[in-house]
Structure 1
């Protein structure tokens, strides 16, 4: 099973199991705190990723590091990941929790790659078109990729719209090669 697939399954379970006495926003903020800690510390990341370190040792470390910083629910989630030997994917799982939470709120995060920087007017026009197409509120992350030559590539969830000149040239080349 791919990392994204099981990360999504864990993320759904984490969101669905948030206790009634806990605020989902608080749990999300605490998971982001854990994510920031793991991303900021190379040693902690390597510790979680190491298959050599015993599960008991990792569980004790989780308790020592996070018990005073986050809610018992988040600690129990981290301990479950350690117990199920999924601690090496903690960043992917937390990322999926954030993506799913936003999706449940009707927000779709997209990635837009273009050959040149888009100005504010172009961005607004693109966002309006994507919101009309998807029926959801769009939050876009922009990247400049000069290799595209021109045009855009938009990634919305599992869907990719490739309107780049690079893609059009590749399709044209493929048609010449196959003789169609």
Structure 2
């Protein structure tokens, strides 16, 4: 259900951003909004509180964000509160951000290595990813996991390229276990 809600509202905000030609501005605003809600748990808690009425919550939104965000985002936040979807604000923002990244051809690559990669290796990897995908830009997220022994695991969206030694050993073990000795 939460995925459906985030998709419906995220798509609506994205369509409005396209229609008003405010994709970049709303993208930045929504990223800032996520930070605000992450850093101000009291605000999120207040908006989630069932004892606070919808009108009061809408008033809080206007008081906190009025004059600080665009009319489009203000109207969007108001609709979310009026429809009782304030618990989904973060998921909706995340969906919208991902939609804009796809639209702008910005990929997010999660790279896991056994050891910290050097800057030149990171640059080569970025160049290779740009050359082999349809993305024009990448946000790179690096992680070190010694348990993969060597190689890389690269995840972009739902695609995974796993060249880790750990996986190669596992595959070899699986292949060998299928062999029958006569």
TM normalised by structure 2 equals 0.81
Q: Distance in 2 between matches of 1:51 and 1:154?
A: 42
> Which residue does 2:45 correspond to in 1?
46
How many pairs does the alignment contain? 178
C-alpha contact 1:99 1:109 (8 A) present in aligned 2:
no
User: Any residues of structure 2 matched to 1:161-176 within 5 Å, and which?
Assistant: 161-175=161-175
Answer yes or no: is the 8 Å Cα contact 1:14–1:97 preserved in 2.
Answer: yes
User: Which structure 1 segments of 5+ residues have no match?
Assistant: none
Counterparts of 1:99 and 1:124, CA distance in 2: 24
* Structure whose alpha-carbon radius of gyration is higher: 2
Q: Name the residue aligned to 1:120.
A: 119
* Corresponding position of 1:131: 130
Partner in structure 1 of residue 57 of structure 2: 58
Structure 1 SS opposite 2:109: strand
- In structure 2, how many angstroms separate the alpha carbons of the residues matched to 1:46 and 1:170? 46
Distance 2:57 2:107 in 1: 35
The CA deviation at 1:111 is 1.2
CA distance in 1, matches of 2:49, 2:176: 50
- Where structure 2 has 5 or more consecutive residues not aligned to the other structure, the ranges are none
Q: 1:49 to 1:168 in 2, by over 3 A?
A: farther
* Contact 2:23–2:100, Cα closer than 8 Å, also in 1: no
C-alpha displacement of 1:156: 0.8
Report the equivalent of 1:153: 153
Please tell me the root mean square deviation across aligned C-alpha atoms, in Å. 2.5
1:64 is displaced (CA, Å) by: 1.6
SS in 1 for 2:112: strand
**TM-score, normalised relative to structure 1:** 0.82
